[in-house]
Chains A and B, each alone.
Chain A
Amino acid sequence: MNAILTVAWKEFRDDFRNRWTVALTALFALLALGIAWFGGAAAGRIGFTSFDATLASLTTLGAFVIPLIGLLIAYDTIVGERDDGTLLLMLSYPLARGQLVGGKFLGHCAALAAATLAGFTLAVAIMQVMQPSAQTLAAWLYIGRFILSASLLGASFVGLACLISVLTTSKSRAAGLALIGWLASVVLFDLALLALLVVSGGNPIERAVYPYLLLLNPVDVFRLVNLAALGNGAGNELLTGMTAGHAYPAALLYGALLAWAALPFAWAALAFRSKEV
């Protein structure tokens, strides 16, 4: 465990040193504030409207941005060390391979979670100072749930990035695969489900299965966690159409997110054990 924490701390510091953490904090804070103030611009309103509307927009945007950041921050975690010639040195230390991947995974997850926490907390604090109507406990609960689920969503894509990094043989290939992974989970998965929905028509058995198919994509689970809490009207229509008002227990959704954070990483650790160096 000590070795995992040592590697994790080094990765966390590296992300901080490379200004990843600061840049992401600023990005998240700016996104949140931008959406809060300009989210209603299309309807001709500028200024803070409501937390529901802000969070719904943030969820939609987060579902695009956070997976991409998770992949970007970690796609070269192992293959980069191999390319740079440091992997052999690291493996010559009394460190199990699972500990090396585990430490890197934890470190990147912690950096991403720290940026999410700092960025969005800062944004909510600013909103509450500028807008007295936003000074509610509910606002903090919403954003707390959002930060937790966003961190777990980030962790699942950091895990996926670790897996890609272990299985590929060059940084450029890993970057390409990471982009394909992002596209598949953020865009193609939902499109495929929609196509299936259209083709199958109103088959009741299949309609009963769809809500659970959404759990196969962490991005959709993240949307479900946040949009389900907001009630009707605030969620996006695609999701509402898919779920058909299905009620998900919170434990199921968080369990699915946790599984998504753990499984790709576990696969990465296993694959790395048998990898020739």
Chain B
Amino acid sequence: MSHAIEFEGLTKRYGMLTALDSVSASIPRGQVIGLLGHNGAGKSTLIKLVLGLVAPSGGRLEVLGHDPWRAPALRRAIGYLPENAAFYPNLTGRELLDYLAKLKRAQRSQVQALLERVGLADAAKRRIGTYSKGMRQRLGLAQALLGEPELLLLDEPTTGLDPQASRELYRIVGELRADGRGVVISSHLLAELEPHIDGALILRQGRLLAAGSLAELGEQASLPARVLLRPYEYAVRELLERLANHKLSAQPRPDGRLELELPRAAKLRALRALVDDPAIADLDVHEPTLTQLYDWLGASPDRPPEERA
């Protein structure tokens, strides 16, 4: 059982609306996967299917080796943080976790440890109604970790968190990955998410646009690398000529640096030449970002795939 989630031809229809249309992919254990797509792409439907809250209209879905619709007890092994997590405002943080721990048959001793882990130990006896959005989000993470789940589903987990709390959240996610647990993070904050995920699953209007590790997706897109050069002032003209000879066109930037795009196939050869070039004082190489990949795949609603270059 090497996959946390595996699905084939997975389809979900709500009446006339097809929320997921014959989607196939697998999410390995011990990996952090970004579930990407704009609103209405089918992310929430996929999460509900994985939790066994809705029945598939077609296809096959296995979560930790079981069909979640037929095995609700499977939810003991899944932690879920819903988007805009809302809790009972009349309960204190500790009371909520005690209640949910009982429902999950998790050890009550975990509650205090989790409150400390998410930095809510001091506020544990305060009513949730008095919590800030960030505190509620941290409480949401704590409840998702109850019972040491094998699979974690986090829907927009850093919404409302300050940068330090976001870093802390991703640190915990890293620990879970190291423990061999599967983590699926649905998020719109691609730049923030990128350093923390091993791969991505990109949906658009219920269809799977791409799935795989970031390296695989990069290969598939074959997007050029971006290089920023800092030339010596006296040698700029010569450098531009040499670049033109290599059929590379550099764009000057306001900070005095030159920006050029290196096609994937020519990247290494060009970089060797640039490193040895006496006119260049420094250079930075920027691989394509997740945001660029996302745009290239046409996942952005304003840029359909048929229009891409």
Contacts and interface: CB of A to CB of B under 8 A. Distances in A.
Interface of A: 2-3, 6-7, 10, 14, 17-18, 84-86, 88-89, 91-96, 276-277
A85 B82 contact: yes
Contact of B82 (A7, A89, A94): A89
A85 B84 CA distance: 8
Contact of A93 (B14, B48, B75, B86): B75
B76 A94 contact: yes
B82 A6 contact: no
A10 B99 CA distance: 8
Given A86-B88, A88-B53, A92-B78, 13 more contacts: A3-B103, A10-B99, A14-B88, A18-B90, A85-B82, A85-B84, A85-B86, A89-B85, A89-B86, A89-B87, A93-B75, A94-B72, A96-B72
Contact of A276 (B14, B74, B80): B14
Nearest to A93: B103
A81 to B, nearest CB: 9
B75 A84 contact: no
Contacts, number: 56
19 contacts: A7-B103, A85-B82, A85-B84, A88-B53, A88-B82, A92-B51, A93-B100, A93-B104, A94-B72, A94-B73, A94-B74, A94-B75, A94-B103, A94-B104, A94-B105, A95-B72, A96-B72, A277-B48, A277-B53
A91 B52 CA distance: 9
B36 to A, nearest CB: 21
**Size bracket of the B interface:** 20 to 34
A85 B104 CA distance: 19
Contacts of A85: 82, 84-86
B102 A92 contact: no
Given A3-B103, A277-B54, A92 B87 contact: no
Given A92-B78, A93-B100, A94-B75, A86 B90 contact: no
A211 B104 CA distance: 49
A95 B86 contact: no
B290 to A, nearest CB: 27
A95 B52 CA distance: 11
Interface in B83-103: 84-88, 90, 99-100, 102-103
A77 to B, nearest CB: 13
Given A6-B99, A94-B104, A89 B80 contact: yes
Contact of A6 (B48, B53, B84, B102): B102
B84 A276 contact: no
A198 B133 CA distance: 63
A95 B76 CA distance: 9
**Quick one: which of B14, B86, B100 has the most chain A CB within 10 A?**
B86
Given A92-B51, A92-B80, A277-B54, A86 B87 contact: yes
A234 to B, nearest CB: 43
The 3 lowest CB-CB distance pairs between A and B, nearest first, are A85-B86, A92-B80, A94-B75
B86 A84 contact: yes
Contacts of B90: 14, 17-18
Contacts of A92: 51, 53, 75, 78, 80, 82
Interface in B214-260: none
Nearest to A83: B86
Contacts of A93: 75, 100, 103-104
**Quick one: which of B78, B88, B90 has the most chain A CB within 10 A?**
B88
Interface string B35-79: 000000000000010010110000000000000000011111010
A86 B140 CA distance: 11
Contact of A95 (B54, B80, B84, B103): B103
A163 B54 CA distance: 21
Interface string B138-180: 0000010000000000000000000000000000000000000
Contacts of A88: 53, 82
A276 B87 CA distance: 21
A262 to B, nearest CB: 24
A6 B88 CA distance: 15
Contacts of A86: 86-88
A7 B100 CA distance: 10
A92 B87 CA distance: 13
